[in-house]
Chain A
Amino acid sequence: MSIRVRATTPTDDQAREALRGKPVAEHRPSENVAKPEGELAFSVSDLSLWYSGKQALTKVGLDIARKQVTALIGPSGCGKSTLIRCLNRMNDLIPGVTIEGNVSYRNADIYGSDVDPVEVRRRIGMVFQKPNPFPKSIYDNVAFGAKVNGFRGNLDDLVESSLKRAALWDEVKDDLKKSGLALSGGQQQRLCIARALANNPDVILMDEPCSALDPIATLKIEDLMRELTTDYTIVVVTHNMQQAARVSDYTAFMLTDEEITGQLIEYAPTETMFTQPADQRTEDYISGRFG
């Protein structure tokens, strides 16, 4: 709530009057939202979310392309992590969350009444900001998802192929019995990616996967993301604009301003976004003027 500064100091009555007369901020969804080409993985429309009554997303609508990398960028508190956690119902786990709007994944409503979040999360994997390997062996870390999902096949082969896909096999093949926690940060994060891949998901959501890593480990993860798009849809939240520019096909820019929290400002193919942003606020952000 902001009261415009006047020439004379307003009395309390005047301030109250000003507030009463102020129209409720009407949020019009941004017009600068491109529609990706080809098959869609997700279609989000009018998505709003509240944490215990505090709004975190306001009428977000965008489509996410299949087998592409989509980056969500924006300053802290803009709702990008909240948005990505809506895509596999991780927000359900937080008490006091209210969600409005629609998220569909390949034509199925993710928040439909007959949808089981466990089934959703099995198909839509997630990698977190801080690497969170289980305090178990490397092997057990990778095999866990398959085991709980009733995988009937050769676990050894699955572990090997998943670690290979995550570009970690050569570094750990001789000590799969070693604790996942004994690896370096970058290796731990690749282990978490391998763990997600072993579930044979369709989509991998990555919530700032490199923010706890050094530049070399970051590059490895970025290369991996590019390779994985041949088979997987990737949605990545990042606070690093160079990273978005390097790895993504599409970029969404989100922002929280004085009136509206968690709104989508602009969504476009990454190249367009970084060369000819349509919105002044996008241009200010990517040119480093704030955030």
Chain B
Amino acid sequence: MAVVGATPETVRLRAEGSVARRQAWSRASRWILLGATLLGLVVLVILGIDNAIVGIPSLDWDFLSNYPSRFAERAGIRSSILGSVWVLVFTVIFAIPVAVGAAVWMEEFAPQNAILTTVRLNIANLAGVPSIIYGILGLAVFVRLMELGPSILAGALTLALMILPMTVITSVEAINQVAPSIREGSLALGATRWQTVWNHVLPGAMPGIMTGTILAIARAAGETAALIMIGAFTFIAFDPAISFAGLLDSFTTLPIQVYNWTIRPQPEFRANAAAGIIVLMVAVIGLNALALVVRDRLRRN
């Protein structure tokens, strides 16, 4: 029996020995990890500032609204902005329904067997294929075999193929996030598989699908190699026609125009390239911000 009121032995709670060593390592890791984050950030900020200093003087309304020119001060990005928008619109029209359809089939309808596992694995591999390979495929199939030429249609189809694996993967993940109990509840009420998908699975997966889509668009917007490969490396001094025939017009996009300017020797053209980069950066960051807003808005509902 303990004596009532006896003073207990004083315990030392300071970190000593092993605890002290582990805590020191933990404190150090925090700074090392902060360094890793800053390294990426600082490089990006320096590049951005350096680019802004060169580019901002060239950035005015004339730059946005002029066609390209062999005189740097008159050259603008009108046709490349319109070309980018036009190609991206059709990329989305081609890629998204196919990607979401494939994802729904794989998650909701396909027999879950070894073949499907192989398909999944290969889609993940395709997402890692360099974009120039898609360019070669586009050149062989769309430009030559289907005789579309280096057109908006060929470019959109090529970019659609390129973003397809990535979009399928994000859609599959979004569909996976929908609780199985929701599917059960719907099926138990006598809804068919399709009614369950349409009324519950797709609405539930929509924030994720939208986020994936917008990020994929951002990637396609910055794509250069695949489009150069299919022959979109041309001097365009007209607006793309708003018609089906217009889809077969040749085109240029912002990243291609920027690339075009950077390989010229004159410093004036490099200033133009820097200004083009600012426009492209703002557009891509804007798209990413939009992805965040859309996701949060849809999640809240």
Which of B12-20, B155-163, B186-194, B268-276 contacts its partner? B186-194
B38: interface (CB < 8 Å)? no
Residue pair B190, A121 in contact (C-beta under 8 Å): yes
Residue pair A122, B190 in contact (C-beta under 8 Å): yes
Of B185, B191, B200, the residue contacting A118 (CB under 8 A) is: B191
Q: Which residues of the partner chain A approach B111 to less than 8 Å between Cβ atoms?
A: 95
The residues in A between 103 and 159 inclusive whose CB is less than 8 angstroms from any CB of B are 118-119, 121-123, 125-126, 128, 130, 132-135, 144-145, 148-149
Residue pair B188, A88 in contact (C-beta under 8 Å): yes
- Can you name the residue of chain B whose Cβ is closest to the Cβ of A126? B188
Alpha-carbon distance A144/B183, docked complex (angstroms): 13
Residue pair B189, A93 in contact (C-beta under 8 Å): no
Residue pair B192, A192 in contact (C-beta under 8 Å): no
A195: interface (CB < 8 Å)? yes
Q: A128-B181, A135-B204 are in contact. Are A118 and B192 (CB under 8 A)?
A: yes
A182: interface (CB < 8 Å)? no
Q: A95-B112, A134-B200 are in contact. Are A125 and B181 (CB under 8 A)?
A: no
Q: A95-B112, A118-B191, A122-B190 are in contact. Are A148 and B185 (CB under 8 A)?
A: no
Of A90, A119, A125, A199, the residue contacting B184 (CB under 8 A) is: A90
- Can you name the residue of chain B whose Cβ is closest to the Cβ of A117? B187
Alpha-carbon distance A222/B61, docked complex (angstroms): 72
Alpha-carbon distance A281/B199, docked complex (angstroms): 47
Residue pair A199, B182 in contact (C-beta under 8 Å): no
Q: A95-B112, A135-B204, A148-B192 are in contact. Are A121 and B187 (CB under 8 A)?
A: yes
Please report the total number of A residues contacting B with Cβ < 8 Å: 25
Q: A93-B184, A132-B182, A144-B199 are in contact. Are A119 and B189 (CB under 8 A)?
A: no
Q: Which residues of the partner chain B approach A149 to less than 8 Å between Cβ atoms?
A: 189-190
A196: interface (CB < 8 Å)? yes
Q: Which residues of the partner chain A approach B85 to less than 8 Å between Cβ atoms?
A: none
Residue pair A195, B189 in contact (C-beta under 8 Å): yes
Rounded to whole Å, the gap between the CB of A140 and the closest CB of chain B is 9
The residues in B between 140 and 192 inclusive whose CB is less than 8 angstroms from any CB of A are 179, 181-192
Of B189, B195, B203, the residue contacting A125 (CB under 8 A) is: B189
- Can you name the residue of chain A whose Cβ is closest to the Cβ of B183? A93
Residue pair B191, A145 in contact (C-beta under 8 Å): yes
Residue pair A128, B190 in contact (C-beta under 8 Å): no
Alpha-carbon distance A148/B196, docked complex (angstroms): 9
Rounded to whole Å, the gap between the CB of B94 and the closest CB of chain A is 31
Alpha-carbon distance A125/B191, docked complex (angstroms): 11
Cβ contacts A166-196/B at 8 Å (1 or 0 each): 0000000000000000000000000010011
Q: Which residues of the partner chain B approach A130 to less than 8 Å between Cβ atoms?
A: 181
Alpha-carbon distance A87/B191, docked complex (angstroms): 17
Alpha-carbon distance A118/B191, docked complex (angstroms): 7
Alpha-carbon distance A123/B189, docked complex (angstroms): 9
Residue pair B199, A148 in contact (C-beta under 8 Å): yes
Of B112, B186, B192, the residue contacting A144 (CB under 8 A) is: B186
Residue pair A134, B190 in contact (C-beta under 8 Å): no
Residue pair A128, B189 in contact (C-beta under 8 Å): no
Most central of A118, A123, A192 by chain B CB within 10 Å:
A118
Residue pair A90, B192 in contact (C-beta under 8 Å): no
Q: Which residues of the partner chain B approach A126 to less than 8 Å between Cβ atoms?
A: 188
Most central of A122, A148, A199 by chain B CB within 10 Å:
A148
Of B183, B188, B200, B203, the residue contacting A121 (CB under 8 A) is: B188
Alpha-carbon distance A128/B190, docked complex (angstroms): 15
Q: Which residues of the partner chain B approach A90 to less than 8 Å between Cβ atoms?
A: 184, 187-188
Of B112, B185, B187, B195, the residue contacting A134 (CB under 8 A) is: B185
Of B183, B186, B190, the residue contacting A119 (CB under 8 A) is: B190
Rounded to whole Å, the gap between the CB of B187 and the closest CB of chain A is 6
Alpha-carbon distance A118/B195, docked complex (angstroms): 11
Q: Which residues of the partner chain A approach B184 to less than 8 Å between Cβ atoms?
A: 90, 93, 128, 132
Alpha-carbon distance A86/B189, docked complex (angstroms): 15
Q: Which residues of the partner chain B approach A118 to less than 8 Å between Cβ atoms?
A: 190-192
Alpha-carbon distance A90/B200, docked complex (angstroms): 18
Rounded to whole Å, the gap between the CB of A216 and the closest CB of chain B is 24
Residue pair B189, A145 in contact (C-beta under 8 Å): yes
Of B112, B183, B191, the residue contacting A148 (CB under 8 A) is: B191
25 contacts across the A-B interface (CB closer than 8 A): A88-B188, A90-B184, A90-B187, A93-B187, A118-B191, A119-B190, A121-B189, A123-B190, A128-B188, A132-B179, A132-B182, A133-B185, A134-B200, A135-B182, A135-B204, A144-B191, A144-B199, A145-B189, A145-B190, A148-B192, A148-B195, A148-B199, A196-B188, A199-B189, A199-B190
Q: Which A residues are closer than 8 A to B by beta carbons?
A: 88, 90, 93, 95, 118-119, 121-123, 125-126, 128, 130, 132-135, 144-145, 148-149, 192, 195-196, 199
Besides A118-B192, A195-B185, 18 new A-B residue pairs in contact (Cβ under 8 A), listed by A number: A93-B184, A95-B112, A121-B190, A128-B181, A128-B185, A132-B181, A133-B185, A134-B186, A134-B199, A135-B204, A144-B186, A144-B191, A148-B195, A148-B199, A192-B185, A196-B189, A199-B189, A199-B190
Q: Which B residues are closer than 8 A to A by beta carbons?
A: 111-112, 179, 181-192, 195, 199-200, 203-204
**10 nearest CB pairs, A to B:** A122-B190, A145-B189, A132-B181, A126-B188, A148-B191, A132-B185, A121-B190, A148-B195, A95-B112, A118-B192
